[in-house]
Amino acid sequence: MDTTDLTESTETRQPSLWRVFVPICLGTAVSLLGDTSLYTVLPTHTAEAGVVVASLGIMLSANRWIRLVSNSPAGWLSDRWPRRWVFVPALFIGALSTALYAFGRGYWSLLIGRLLWGIAWSGIWVSGNAIVMDVATPQNRGRLVGYYNVAFFTGAGSGSFLGGWLTDWLGYQQTFTIEAALTTLGAIIALFLLPETKQLTATPKQAQPTPHAPRPTPHTIPWGELISANGLIAVNRIVGAGLLLPTFGLYLAGVLGDSVVLGGRTIGTTTLTGFGLSLSTYLGMMFVPLAGSVSDRLGNRWRVVVLGLLPGIIGFSLLSLSIPWLILFGLIGFSMTSGSNQGLATALVGDLAGEQQRGRWLGILFTMGDLGSAIGPIVVFALLDRLSLPLLYTGAAGLLGVMWVTALVWARRSVLAQASMA
C-alpha cells in the first residue's frame, strides 16, 4: 500500500487518512466473519442451529433479499446524517446478528439474524464507501476504493476458513460467539476512533479535478454513464455470485469426477471447489487496488474497465471448453475481472454522482449488485434443466462481452472529451 495516500494531511483534509481507514477497514473486515462462516458451517451443522436442510436456501439468501430494500435507505441516511451515525450502529447490528447465530435456535431466530445482517451490511458497505469518497480526490479515488475493497475481500476470505477451523476445534456455538465478540470489538474501535468525514465534502480539496468525468450538477447528471456503471456491477455479480460460485462444484464434478489424483494423493472435488473459490477471492482482492491505481493515473476509468473485462471473457470461454488443465486459467481470468469491476464501478459512481447525492447512488449501485446475486442462482438452476453448465459459461462470456462494448463506447467518449479540453 502506498503510504503517501494515507498520510497526507492539509488544513482542509483533517484528520489523516490513516485515522479513517483503520477503523472502517477493521470494522468492515471483522463484520463479515459471521456471515461467511455461516455459509461454510450451516450446511453441515443444521442440528446445532435447529433448522432443517430444506430451509438452507432461505437462510443463506435472506440477507441479500432484504438488502434490495435496505440499501437505498442506507444511502439516503448517509447523505442526510453524519456518516458515523450510519456506519457505527450498523457494526453493532452486525454483531447482534452473529450473536443470534450463536445463542438463538430454530428457524425464526436464525431468519431474524440473517435479516438483521442484511440491514447491517447495507449500512456498513454503503456508508463505508461514502466515507471513502469523502476523503478521496479524483486523483486517488480508484486506489482508495481499492484499499477498502481489500478489507472486504480479507474479511470474506478469512471467514470461511476461520469458521470451519473454529467449528471443528471448538464447536458451532463457540465459533459464532467468538466472531460476535470480534465484530463488537470492531464496532467499539470505530465508535471511539472513527472521525466524522461528511464535512470534508463541503471543503475545497487542494488537488485539481481530473477529466474522469464532468462534475455533475442536479441538472446535468450523467445518467447514461451512471446506468452503465450500475450495469457493470450487476453483470459482475450475476456471472460471479449468481453463476460461478453456486455452480463451480457441479462443474468440477462434471469435468473431473468425484476426485482427482495429484502427486500420488487423492483429492476430493469438494476440497478442490473450496480451494478454487478461496483462490478466486484472494486473486480478486489483488486486482481491486491495482485496477483503481491504473485508472487514477490514466484519468479514464472506462479504459481500465475495457481492459479489465477481457480476462473474464477469456476466462469463461476457457471454462466452457471443459478441459481440466484450462480450469485454473479460466478461474484466474474471472478473478481478475471480478476484482477490477467491483472497485471501478464504485469509483465511477464517485466520479459521476454529485457530492450531496453519493450516498443514494451508492445505495442504488449496491442494490443492483445484490439483485444480480439474488436472482442469478434462481435463473441458473432453472436453466440447468435445459442448458449445460459449459453453455451457461459461454453465455456469461457473452454477457461480459456486451458490457465490454458498452465500456468501449464510454472510454472513447472520455478520450474525445479529454482531447477537446486539451
Q: What are 125-165's pLDDT values in tens digits? A: 999 999 998 888 888 888 898 899 899 888 887 887 788 78
The domain 15-202 is placed in CATH, from the list 1.20.1250.20, 1.10.30.50, 3.60.15.10, 1.10.150.120, at 1.20.1250.20
Which pLDDT value is given to residue 322? 93
If you classify domain 219-422 with CATH, what class do you get? mainly alpha
pLDDT at 380 over 80: yes
Domains 15-202 and 219-422 share a fold: yes
Dist. CA 419–CA 422, nearest whole Å? 5
Q: Per residue in 46-58, pLDDT tens?
A: 888 898 877 777 8
pLDDT-derived band at 202 (thresholds 50, 70, 90) equals very low
Query: N- to C-terminal Cα distance for the chain?
Result: 32
pLDDT-derived band at 201 (thresholds 50, 70, 90) equals low
In percent, the amount of the chain with pLDDT more than 90 equals 44
Which pLDDT value is given to residue 421? 65
Residue 364 contacts residue 71 (beta carbons within 8 Å): yes
pLDDT at 272 over 50: yes
Which pLDDT value is given to residue 120? 97
Dist. CA 347–CA 262, nearest whole Å? 42
Which pLDDT value is given to residue 210? 45
Q: C-alpha distances in angstroms, 416 versus 295, 300, 390, 409, 411?
A: 17, 11, 39, 11, 9
Which pLDDT value is given to residue 204? 47
In percent, the amount of the chain with pLDDT more than 70 equals 90
pLDDT at 167 over 70: yes
pLDDT-derived band at 118 (thresholds 50, 70, 90) equals very high
Which pLDDT value is given to residue 2? 52
Count other Cβ atoms within 10 Å, centred on residue 303: 19
The neighbouring-strand residues paired with 266 are 261
Long-range contact set of residues 379-383: C-beta below 8 Å, sequence gap at least 24: 379/242, 380/242, 380/243, 380/246, 380/247, 381/246
Which pLDDT value is given to residue 300? 87
Dist. CA 308–CA 315, nearest whole Å? 12
Q: C-alpha distances in angstroms, 292 versus 56, 205, 334?
A: 36, 20, 17
Residue-range domain boundaries for the chain = 15-202, 219-422
- State the pTM of this model: 0.79
Least confident range of 194-198, 209-213, 244-248, 294-298: 209-213
Which pLDDT value is given to residue 55? 79
